[in-house]
Amino acid sequence: MGLDQGIDVEQSVGIVKTEYAHFETELKLESGRLLSPFTLAYETYGRLNNERSNVILVAHAWTGDAHAAGWHTPDDRKPGWWDNMIGPGCLLDTERYFVICSNVIGSCKGSTGPASINPRSGQPYNLTFPVVMVRDMVRAQARLLDRLGINQLLTVIGGSMGAMQALEWGIIYPDRVRSIIPIAGTGKTSPMAIALNALARTAVFNDPLWKKGNYRPEHPPADGFALARAVGHISFLSDASMQLKFERRFSARDGLFDFFGKFEVERYLEYNGRSFVDRFDTNSFLYLAKALDLYDVAWDFDSSDEALTRIECPSLWFAFTSDWLYPPNQTEEVVADLKRLNKPVTYHLIESDYGHDSFLVEPEKFTPKVAAFLDRL
C-alpha cells in the first residue's frame, strides 16, 4: 500500500529523493587498486543544525540501499527499509537529527559497482571491478561527508554489514565520530559464514547463464542467483522463526505424495529468491559477499587490539539470542576486548526468535536503549 491508500504518515518523512554524489578524484582501495570516477547514491532526512552537530549516519546491510525511510512516490508499495526507525518522533527523530544513508560502493543501487559502466571501456565493469572491503566503503562515505561539509558524526548506526561499517568508522576516523552503534555484528567473519557464502557463490558459478560474470542484464543467471539468495536468506532466519511462520505445512497447491511437491517453507524460499533476482545484480551480490568474507577488524593492523585501541568514542553493541550467522559470542569477544582496553562500551543481549534479521523485525526490543544512549551524548 502507498501513501494514497490510507497509510498513517504522521511519523514518516514523506516523499524523499535519492541524491547522487559524483567523484572524479581517485579512491585508493585496500587492494591497492584505484577507483575513479565513482558515484555514491544517498538520501538525507531532517535538517542539519547550525553547528552541524546533529548528523547520524545509517549504514545498511548486505543487499540494502540508500532508501532507508520515506517514499519515492505516493504509489510505492513499501517505504524505506528502516522507515519505522527514522522520522518525526521516531528513534532517529528527524525533528532533532539530520540522518544520512548512503549506498555502499560495490552495490547496484545507485553507487558504483560491477554493474556500472567502466568509462575506459564503455562496457559494464563486471569482474574487472576491483574487490572492495568494508573499509573501502567507509572511506567512500567519508568523501561524501566531506562533500556535504560535515566534519563529525553524532553516531554511526547499522546492523550486520552496517555494524561492520560502524566499527570501521570508530577505527579509521576516531576524530569524526562521537559514538558508534553496531547491531548484530562481528569483529571478523567466521568460517561458517564464509562457508555459507561459498555455497551461494557456487550456485551462481554453476549457472551457465553467469558466463564468468559477463551475462546480459536482461538475462541474468536467475536459477543460480535465486538459489544463492535462498542460502543467504536461511542464514538470516532461525529455527524458531521458521516454526512460527511455516511449521510443517505442506503447500496447498501440491499433493502430499507428489515427488516434486513442496512444503510452504520451500515455496517461500523459491519466491523470495525469484523476486530478488528482479531487483538486485548478481555480480554486485557476489562482490558484497566477498567484502563480508574478508572482514576482519585487525586487517592491516598488527592485531585486533591495535585496531580497537584507536576507538575513542563510546560504543553501544547489540546481539540477538537466536542469531546463528553472527552469534552473540562473536559480538561479546569484541566487547570484552574493548572493556579490557578501557574503552567506554555498553552491550545488550536481546531475546528474540527472529535470528539475524531481529534488528529489522523487532527493533522495539532495543530502541529504548539506543534512545537513552543518544540522549546521554
Residue among 12, 116, 160, 235 flagged as catalytic: 160
Q: Give the three-class secondary structure for 256.
A: coil
Is 200 within 8 Å of 289 (Cβ atoms)? yes
Residue among 65, 223, 323, 357 flagged as catalytic: 323
- Closest to 86 measured CA to CA, from 330, 367, 296: 367
Residue among 83, 356, 357, 358 flagged as catalytic: 356
HSE at residue 279, side-chain half, CA atoms within 13 A, is 9
The 3-state DSSP composition of the chain as helix, strand, coil percent (nearest 5) reads 35, 20, 45
Query: Whole-angstrom Cα distance, residue 340 to residue 354?
Result: 31
Is 356 within 8 Å of 325 (Cβ atoms)? yes
Burial zone of 366 (CB within 10 Å; 0-12 exposed, 13-18 middle, 19+ buried): buried
Query: Whole-angstrom Cα distance, residue 44 to residue 56?
Result: 10
Query: Whole-angstrom Cα distance, residue 329 to residue 319?
Result: 9
- Closest to 282 measured CA to CA, from 192, 212, 235, 234: 212
Helices (H), 246-366: 264-277, 282-294, 304-309, 328-340, 358-361
Cell of 239: 529455527
323 classed as catalytic: yes
Query: Whole-angstrom Cα distance, residue 61 to residue 361?
Result: 14
160 classed as catalytic: yes
Is 373 within 8 Å of 346 (Cβ atoms)? yes
- Closest to 176 measured CA to CA, from 275, 52, 348, 304: 52
Please identify every residue annotated as catalytic. Answer: 160, 323, 356
